[in-house]
Amino acid sequence: MNKDNQRNISTTGNQAFNDLKLTDPITIAAGPLGVKEALKHGFKEMGVVRAMGALLEMNQEDGFSCPSCAWPDPEKASKFAEYCENGAKALADEATTKKIDADFFAQHSVEELSNLTDYELNKFGRLVSPLVLKPNSIHYEAISWEDTYQLIRKELKSLTSPDEAIFYTSGRSSNEAAFLYGLFARAFGTNNMPDCSNMCHESSGIAMGETLGIGKGSIKLEDLYEAEVVLIAGQNPGTNHPRMLSALEKCKANGGKIISINPLEESGLVNFKNPQKIKGWLGAPVDIADIHLQVKINEDIPLIKAILKKLYDKNKLDDTVFDQEFIKTYTDGYQSLLADLEKYELSSLIAQCGVSESDIDASVALLAKKSKIVVCWAMGLTQHKNGVATIKEYINLLLLKGAIGKPNAGTCPVRGHSNVQGDRSVGIMHFVNKDLNKRIKEHLGFTPPDKEGFDVVGAMKAMHDGKAKVFMCLGGNFLMAASDTAYTAKAIQNCDLTVQISTKLNRTHLVTGKTALILPTYGRSEKDIKNGKERFITIENSMGRVRQSKGVLKPASENLKSEPDIIAEMATAYFNGKHHVKWEALSGDYNLIRNTIDTVIKGFENTNTASKGLGYYLPNNVRNLDFSMLPNGKAQFSLNELPKHNLKENEFMLMTIRSHDQFNTTIYGLDDRYRGVYNERRVLFMNELDIKKWNLRKFDVVDISSNYDETLRTAHNFKIIPYNIPQGNLAAYFPETNMVVPYNHFADQSKTPISKSIIVSLKKVSL
Ligand SMILES: Nc1nc2c(c(=O)[nH]1)N[C@H]1C(S)=C(S)[C@@H](COP(=O)(O)OP(=O)(O)OC[C@H]3O[C@@H](n4cnc5c(=O)[nH]c(N)nc54)[C@H](O)[C@@H]3O)O[C@H]1N2
Ligand SMILES: Nc1nc2c(c(=O)[nH]1)N[C@H]1C(S)=C(S)[C@@H](COP(=O)(O)OP(=O)(O)OC[C@H]3O[C@@H](n4cnc5c(=O)[nH]c(N)nc54)[C@H](O)[C@@H]3O)O[C@H]1N2
Ligand SMILES: [Mo]
């Protein structure tokens, strides 16, 4: 609570324990159990007919794209089960038949609701009518759509500068919605467009942009099938991208080898059964990872340097280990990289990363002989202070091996949200894109602002310091996704108006500005009908392919509006006919929006028709070995320093990770089946030797505290679980631990919060 906002709101909800049960971690991911679990979820939430009908259309040519992760669909679409357990859960969660309307909020105040857990909040069901929370009131009440637009207009008009408004985007929005939203922010006059990328793959974008000239990955899905070696670093595909396992299985069947690099031995990388194949239902499980490098948290740089040094030694004897031709033709900085490698002592690199030399040697032996190499990664690399440098170090490996810009080789940053990549492509960004601004001016007739806007961290600080007053969110759950929950709550509560365009209830609807609006919208799985005509939207997957998505289910309510319609109507009301862009015309006409995207955004072409079926690929310079945008027209080797942590004797390195039963801040259930944890989320994974060393026991309760800049931040009450994790490292779930991530500590350059390497200490609590 703070003085500007007198509601008594809990930012954490109830923290009581449930009835924790443990089993050994399950090593067999997906497989029949996966499908069974998926169907169980679907049936409970949606009812049998609705669930089966929807699942059959998911990720099929004429259906809709899965609302879960951004993993691509195969070019030859399978007829059966092109979804995974967690995609089905995401669908069931969105398509639930439970609803909450103004009556619900008349009965339950925001104060009362805030005492529930995030899991309980999500379970209430779909938001189905526009709602307003008036100043000093603790109950949302009904409001007409037109009145929401007028209220927004009034608040935006009252600002002294357009930079006092912030427009956040989560990654589920369509290209059409995101494009209009970005256009509206620019037309209004600000680049304050933080998005979930800032907390996610921003480090990847910067690292690849500086070394390869494009912030996106270079491989296509099919490249994985015949890759010779695939490195999977800092990613948990069994839970977060389960359909990726099918591609890895194909790779293995073709003789490919897989190296997993992770402080944890994640299920799915060992022993995987493919539910899409009869063989998978009956046959023996396949080991996906051939080698597991159990690196310590945030020690990938010394590990990769050790590998590079050993490869370099081999190359001295046989100069085909590094691809000399590729290096000469396409890269810059080779000699300085070699000179830099000479400076490091092999034994101290190995000691620092914590991986055994024999495992490193096995990996080096594989890599020395092969050149079709793919590196896949996710949050385990991006969310560290040195996330950008870490990714650049992996790119050094690819460049030395000439594993860039050719079939079956390259970069594969595995995206999170299903359209996070598309949202960026069509203009959601806080930085200034001069070329985009020029094209907007040329084709749409207005001059967009040329001052860099706030990213997530900047937005938090601006609101906290009273420099921003209106905060709008296109999806997401900003409070629970951003770092430093208490700080972020205060920031949001400082605003005059907060607006959430959402499908489901979450804590950001309860921790609000003085006035708050909820604008309910369709989910991806729902039919989008306007004036009797069914419409489709487009999205871009993790590998740069744009395709259509068309919902199949009856919408949760007739009072919902689509995201593009909400934004166009809001802009129409705001400009009231006085703007170069014809907002009224764009409202309701997705074909016109797509034509406008085609003219304004480079690479989009004939999207209305070309996005049909499997869709089309956006241009990617790396695939054509075009590095003309980089210094000397070459791909860049980089020199990256070792991380320095300087932990005190009683300090640990904590990573905040996802359980199997959540999608980011949406908690589907309280189990993490693959890790053998049931019915509890407030747990702390800890090495058995550390538990002993600190005189602790299994199920002891501890508080977790960080102390950055002499500020103590504490997450209370976590039960200790002995787990196979390197000594000195800890893991716990996000978002319960976000309050210990300091708002002002983030990755160099990308400003992604350090959610995977937080220095903490523990204090035993007696309950
Ligand atoms: N079912 C489901 N699917 C999802 C999501 C979800 O919440 N649920 N979220 C979506 C989103 S937005 C995203 S961004 C992705 C996230 O996908 P992931 O990045 O796979 O998700 P995390 O749970 O954050 O897992 C990070 C992994 O990195 C490892 N790791 C942590 N620190 C290090 C390190 O220093 N080095 C190395 N090598 N490894 C490390 C952890 O042990 C863990 O296995 O998934 C997307 N898909
Ligand atoms: N400590 C820690 N913090 C993290 C991370 C971490 O690993 N550790 N991961 C970070 C990452 S990678 C990400 S991407 C962010 C996620 O940050 P966000 O994207 O902001 O969070 P989500 O939990 O995905 O948002 C869920 C909400 O989105 C709304 N929603 C769902 N579908 C739709 C839709 O189709 N349209 C609209 N308008 N709304 C919809 C629902 O209301 C739902 O409650 O969190 C980040 N925060
Ligand atoms: Mo993400």
Per residue in 678-714, pLDDT tens? 999 999 999 999 999 999 999 999 999 999 999 999 9
How many angstroms does the Cα of residue 379 sit away from the middle of ligand 1? 5
pLDDT at residue 335, as a whole number: 98
Residue ranges of the alpha helices (H) in 257-299?
278-282
Whether omega before 735 lies within 30 degrees of 0, making that bond cis, reads: yes
Q: Point out the ligand 2 atom lying closest to the alpha carbon of residue 417.
A: 14
Residues 314/321, Cβ–Cβ less than 8 Å? yes
pLDDT tier at 282, thresholds 50, 70, 90: very low
- Distance between CA atoms of residues 41 and 35, nearest Å: 10
Residue ranges of the alpha helices (H) in 370-495?
379-382, 387-400, 420-425, 434-444, 456-464, 478-481, 485-493
Q: Ligand 1, atom 12: nearest CA belongs to which residue? A: 416
How many angstroms does the Cα of residue 763 sit away from the middle of ligand 3? 31
Residue 71, judged by CB atoms within 10 A of its CB (0-12, 13-18, 19+), counts as buried
99-199+419-612: CATH topology is Rossmann fold (3.40.50)
Q: What phi and psi, each to the nearest 5 degrees, are found at residue 373?
A: -120, 135
3-state secondary structure at position 131: strand
pLDDT tens-digit readout, 28-42: 555 444 556 666 666
Q: Point out the ligand 2 atom lying closest to the alpha carbon of residue 509.
A: 42
Mean pLDDT lowest among 24-28, 176-180, 706-710: 24-28
Checking if the pLDDT of 462 tops 90, the result is yes
> The pTM is what?
0.95
pLDDT tier at 281, thresholds 50, 70, 90: very low
- Distance between CA atoms of residues 555 and 521, nearest Å: 9
pLDDT tier at 81, thresholds 50, 70, 90: low
Q: Ligand 2, atom 42: nearest CA belongs to which residue? A: 504
Beta bridge partners of 373: 229
Work out the average pLDDT over 185-196. Answer: 98
- Residue from 195, 653, 756 whose mutation best tests the ligand 1 pocket (most atoms within 8 A of CB): 756
The CATH class, in words, for 652-764 is mainly beta
How many angstroms does the Cα of residue 616 sit away from the middle of ligand 3? 24
The distance of Cα 229 from the centroid of its chain, to the nearest Å, equals 25
Strand bridging mode 545-549 / 616-617: antiparallel
How many angstroms does the Cα of residue 603 sit away from the middle of ligand 3? 24
3-state secondary structure at position 238: helix
How many angstroms does the Cα of residue 170 sit away from the middle of ligand 2? 6
Strand bridging mode 701-708 / 758-765: antiparallel
The distance of Cα 26 from the centroid of its chain, to the nearest Å, equals 25
User: Is there an atom of ligand 1 within 6 Å of 720 CB?
Assistant: no
Pocket of ligand 2 (CB under 6 A): 170-172, 196, 199-200, 379, 383, 416-417, 474-478, 481, 501-504, 506, 521, 523-524, 563, 656, 664-666, 734, 738, 741, 755
Q: Ligand 2, atom 46: nearest CA belongs to which residue? A: 481
Work out the average pLDDT over 524-540. Answer: 92
How many angstroms does the Cα of residue 508 sit away from the middle of ligand 2? 11
pLDDT at residue 190, as a whole number: 98
Other CB atoms within a 10 A radius of the CB of residue 730 amount to 27
The enclosing H or E element of 591 equals helix 590-600
- Residue from 204, 471, 503 whose mutation best tests the ligand 2 pocket (most atoms within 8 A of CB): 503
Work out the average pLDDT over 414-435. Answer: 95
Domains 99-199+419-612 and 202-413 share a fold: no
- Residue from 86, 121, 502 whose mutation best tests the ligand 2 pocket (most atoms within 8 A of CB): 502
Instruction: Please state, for a pLDDT cut of 70, what percent of the chain lies above it.
Output: 92
User: Is there an atom of ligand 1 within 6 Å of 167 CB?
Assistant: no
Residues 428/420, Cβ–Cβ less than 8 Å? no
CA end-to-end span of the chain, whole Å? 26
pLDDT at residue 52, as a whole number: 65
How far is CA 430 from each of CA 192, 202, 357, rounded to the nearest angstrom? 6, 12, 43
The distance of Cα 125 from the centroid of its chain, to the nearest Å, equals 23
User: Is there an atom of ligand 1 within 6 Å of 123 CB?
Assistant: no
Instruction: Please state, for a pLDDT cut of 90, what percent of the chain lies above it.
Output: 83
- Residue from 199, 201, 417, 565 whose mutation best tests the ligand 2 pocket (most atoms within 8 A of CB): 199
How many angstroms does the Cα of residue 584 sit away from the middle of ligand 2? 30
Residue length of the chain: 767
How many angstroms does the Cα of residue 416 sit away from the middle of ligand 3? 4
Q: Ligand 1, atom 8: nearest CA belongs to which residue? A: 663
How far is CA 543 from each of CA 155, 336, 412, 554, 569, rounded to the nearest angstrom? 40, 32, 8, 30, 32
Q: Point out the ligand 1 atom lying closest to the alpha carbon of residue 237.
A: 20
Q: Ligand 2, atom 12: nearest CA belongs to which residue? A: 200
- Distance between CA atoms of residues 66 and 59, nearest Å: 6
Checking if the pLDDT of 83 tops 70, the result is no
- Distance between CA atoms of residues 146 and 569, nearest Å: 9
pLDDT tier at 122, thresholds 50, 70, 90: very high
Name which of 578, 516, 451 is nearest 155 in CA terms: 516
Residues 115/14, Cβ–Cβ less than 8 Å? yes
- Distance between CA atoms of residues 121 and 98, nearest Å: 12
Q: Looking at domain 202-413, does it have CATH number 3.40.50.620?
A: no
Residue ranges of the alpha helices (H) in 22-117?
31-46, 48-57, 85-94, 102-107, 110-113
pLDDT tens-digit readout, 304-325: 999 999 999 999 999 999 999 9
- Distance between CA atoms of residues 658 and 90, nearest Å: 14
pLDDT at residue 279, as a whole number: 45
User: Is there an atom of ligand 1 within 6 Å of 377 CB?
Assistant: no
Mean predicted lDDT score pLDDT of the chain = 92
How many angstroms does the Cα of residue 216 sit away from the middle of ligand 2? 21
Residue 79, judged by CB atoms within 10 A of its CB (0-12, 13-18, 19+), counts as exposed
How many angstroms does the Cα of residue 69 sit away from the middle of ligand 1? 11
Of the ligands numbered here, which is closest to the C-alpha atom of 170? 2
Of the ligands numbered here, which is closest to the C-alpha atom of 118? 2
- Residue from 91, 382, 418, 477 whose mutation best tests the ligand 2 pocket (most atoms within 8 A of CB): 477
- Residue from 492, 537, 665 whose mutation best tests the ligand 2 pocket (most atoms within 8 A of CB): 665
pLDDT at residue 80, as a whole number: 45
Q: Ligand 1, atom 46: nearest CA belongs to which residue? A: 416
Any idea what the Cα angle at residue 546 is, between residues 542 and 548, rounded to 5°? 115
How many angstroms does the Cα of residue 657 sit away from the middle of ligand 1? 6
pLDDT at residue 86, as a whole number: 79
Per DSSP, the residues of 362-403 read HHHHHHHH---EEEEE-HHHHSSTTHHHHHHHHHHHHHHTT-
User: Is there an atom of ligand 1 within 6 Å of 700 CB?
Assistant: no
Q: Ligand 2, atom 35: nearest CA belongs to which residue? A: 523
3-state secondary structure at position 269: coil
User: Is there an atom of ligand 1 within 6 Å of 484 CB?
Assistant: no
pLDDT tens-digit readout, 327-364: 999 999 999 999 999 999 999 999 999 999 999 999 99
How many angstroms does the Cα of residue 94 sit away from the middle of ligand 2? 14
How many angstroms does the Cα of residue 478 sit away from the middle of ligand 2? 7
Q: Point out the ligand 2 atom lying closest to the alpha carbon of residue 416.
A: 14
How many angstroms does the Cα of residue 632 sit away from the middle of ligand 1? 35
Q: 462 is written with which tokens?
A: 């601006």
Q: Where are the domains of the chain?
A: 26-94, 99-199+419-612, 202-413, 652-764
The enclosing H or E element of 654 equals strand 652-657
Q: Point out the ligand 2 atom lying closest to the alpha carbon of residue 127.
A: 42
Q: Ligand 1, atom 30: nearest CA belongs to which residue? A: 380
pLDDT at residue 75, as a whole number: 64
3-state secondary structure at position 311: helix
pLDDT at residue 384, as a whole number: 98
- Residue from 173, 198, 235, 294 whose mutation best tests the ligand 1 pocket (most atoms within 8 A of CB): 235
User: Is there an atom of ligand 1 within 6 Å of 233 CB?
Assistant: yes
Q: 150 is written with which tokens?
A: 């007028």
What strands lie across the sheet with 545-549, from one edge to the other? Answer: 537-540, 545-549, 616-617
